[in-house]
Amino acid sequence: MRAWLRILALCLGAMTGAPGARAHEIGTTQVQLTLGPGDTWSATITTAPTALVNKLEAAAGQALSRDLTAERVLAALPAYTAAIAAQVDLRADGAAQPATVAVERVEMPSDVTLPAFVVLRADGPLPPGTHAVTWRYGLVYSTYGVVFTDAAGGAPQTRWLEGDAASPPFALAANAAAVSLPQLAAQYLQLGFLHILPEGLDHILFVLGIFLLTTRLRSILVQVTAFTLAHSVTLGLTMYGVISLPSRVVEPLIALSVAYVAVENIMTARLTPWRPLVVFAFGLLHGMGFAGALADLHLARRDVIPALVSFNVGIELAQLSIIAAAYAAVALVCASGGRKDKPWYRRRVVIPASSLIAATGLFWTVQRVAGF
Amino acid sequence: MLALRGALIGLAAACWAAGALVAACGSAWAHDFWIEPSTFRPGPGTAVAVGLRVGENFIGDPVPRTASLIDRFFVRQAGEEQAVGGADNIDPAGFLRADGRATALVGYTGGGSYIELPADRFTAYLRQYGLDGIVAERERLGESAQPGRECFYRYAKSLLAGARADPAVTRPLGFTYEVVPDADPTTGGPGPVRGHVLFQGRPVAGAVVTAHLQGQPAMRLATRSDAQGAFAFPLPQGGVWLIRSVHMVRAGTLAHWLHHRDWESHWASLTFDWPGPAGLAGAQP
């Protein structure tokens, strides 16, 4: 037991010693990109004036200007509009589109606490029937947001880009290719499965926590059924906008649920009357977490039900795979240990594994609370 | 004297050659981070706006203050350390009032940001920053064709010149990765600007260290630290200089498992106004 505690302490130390990934260095650049109306696109680029002018001067091999004013920036930029346009890379279905750039506004207050910015307007043609566009802007170093808006409809989407990286494709609703029902079902079944295995480590640990309480099949089935019912309900309700909880609340609670089931495994070896209820309650939270993965995809309303059902089936298949793998692993451990009695299994498997899961769940809880 | 001049010329040639090599590698995603105050020579009582910048060749985009990214943001002057205050999401990231009697040191540590790059861009970026050891390590691990997943951390320092030099600026601050000058460079003087690069307090041998002159993106010197982590730059002219270095290490197994990162990069920078080889008239050492 002491050895396990030492390992646990080492793991926690190593985990806390490696801070998690946090927000990126978001600069002052912002882009509003509008596709349409008609066969055109336009973008409003708001960025830092001195950095913009200096980048253009450096690219042209000229001396860099210092102590710029709004008037000097306004006087300097027209000579560079072609150079700026060359750095605006809008691609329609992979084909680069020409762009023209104009300077709309420059603000450089003498009060340094007020923001200095230049507003550029870029526009160009959009070929009829374009399915998707990508955006790239070569005159930025920091992380910045691009808001894609389809003038034909649909909710705007914000993408965060690292400097001069290209955006992922943004699909235009009017020209999106129709997907058949079997294709859609297969796509979302795969998505649901992958969302758990291997991407959903917190959900994997929760299912393992359920499994570790007892090897009795009935107990596992009761818990898995409660979990499945619960997350199916909230997944559907969240997708239809009936319920909504911010992820800053849901994600730490999911992490806490992982810790809870593991701690209860250490405290008791029996299926207590409240355990299925608790698992059901936690399942409600996990369902809201699952909904996040689907919500990001901005499904068309007609596709919501088949996608939801397929996604849920994918999740169930992943859960059953985890339990099957866990059963196989436990059988292997018991066979190699030469012991199959319950005290041995509990002492050598349930308690150490649950301790690790509980520690991980608690670490995530703190990390997620601190991260929001 | 002739020997000294010969050594300096040799050192300068080595720096320019290394700089040309680094410049020839082309651009990839990899950006420096530094502190850019509104003035590098504030008088006593002067209010200084402290900007953070991310960019290349000493041309940077402003980075507004993001409280969640900051581990430490402080100024050391007149023997005291004070937090640099500011408002979230605002550029400049902080404000301070300069004491002005001696050189002040502004320090910033933060980051922990994650980035994933396609294999080719990651390799180009590693080569651009002289991290050939990491390229070789990726090859050895069979990861060369895989995307580069890293978490990066920032350690920036800036010197605000005062009426006299302050030897305190030559002491390490305890940053994970740090550029430490051997002497206060704000007073200038003959001979190269020397310093050390330290990772977790220990010298780093073979680290690429570069120096950039503000306003002249073509003016870039590069060298490698020696076995004691020491570097030297024979700066050709006075002005505001950025000295920076990046050090990368393999992420731990748990960081790999929990945070899906393979590498951790540590970016150290130092900005200061170097008056030139003649030094400042009337400056007290």
pLDDT in tens, A93-130: 999 999 999 999 999 998 877 789 999 999 999 999 89
Residue range B121-135: mean pLDDT, rounded: 91
Whole-number pLDDT of residue B162: 94
pLDDT in tens, B76-103: 998 899 999 998 888 999 999 999 999 9
What amino acid is encoded at A129 in this protein?
G
Position A15 pLDDT exceeds 80: no
Q: Which of B31, B49, B254 is the closest to A11 by Cβ?
A: B254
DSSP H helices in B107-189: 119-128, 132-140
Q: Which residues of A touch B86 (CB under 8 A)?
A: none
Q: Are B140 and B103 in contact, with CB atoms under 8 Å apart?
A: no
Whole-number pLDDT of residue B195: 97
Whole-number pLDDT of residue A65: 92
Residue range A158-166: mean pLDDT, rounded: 89
Position B270 pLDDT exceeds 90: yes
- Identify the sign of the CA torsion A331, A333, A337, A339: negative
Q: Which of B29, B91, B114 is the closest to A28 by Cβ?
A: B91
Reduced to 3 states (helix: H, G, I; strand: E, B; else coil), residue A25 is coil
Domain ranges of chain B: 2-282
Whole-number pLDDT of residue A24: 67
Position B12 pLDDT exceeds 50: no
Confidence of residue B30 (pLDDT cuts 50, 70, 90): low
Confidence of residue A354 (pLDDT cuts 50, 70, 90): very high
Whole-number pLDDT of residue A345: 81
Residues of A near B (Cβ–Cβ under 8 Å) read 11, 14-15, 17-29, 47-48, 51, 54-55, 58, 61, 63-64, 66, 112-113, 115, 140-142, 162-165, 201, 360, 371
Residue range B160-183: mean pLDDT, rounded: 96
Torsion on CA atoms B222, B226, B229, B232, rounded to nearest 10: -50
Whole-number pLDDT of residue A148: 93
Q: Which of A58, A113, A140 is the closest to B61 by Cβ?
A: A140
- Ranking A70-74, A224-228, A289-293 by mean pLDDT, the lowest is A289-293
Q: Are B58 and A141 in contact, with CB atoms under 8 Å apart?
A: no
Check B60 against A51: CB less than 8 A apart.
yes
Whole-number pLDDT of residue A295: 67
Residue range B177-201: mean pLDDT, rounded: 95
Residue range A276-292: mean pLDDT, rounded: 86
Mean pLDDT estimate for chain B? 86
Q: What is the percentage of chain A residues whose pLDDT exceeds 90? A: 35
ipTM over 0.95: no
Which of A12-21, A230-239, B172-181, B258-267 has the highest average model confidence (pLDDT)?
B172-181
Position A294 pLDDT exceeds 60: yes
Rounded Cα distance, A354 and A224, in Å: 18
pLDDT in tens, A241-272: 788 777 778 888 889 999 999 999 898 888 78
Q: For residue A17, what are its two tokens?
A: 């010693």
- Closest CA–CA distance from residue B4 to any residue of chain A (Å): 33
Q: Which residues of B touch A258 (CB under 8 A)?
A: none
Position B169 pLDDT exceeds 50: yes
Q: DSSP letter at B284?
A: B
Position A327 pLDDT exceeds 50: yes
Q: Which of B54, B215, B251 is the closest to A64 by Cβ?
A: B215
Check B68 against A23: CB less than 8 A apart.
yes
Whole-number pLDDT of residue B5: 43
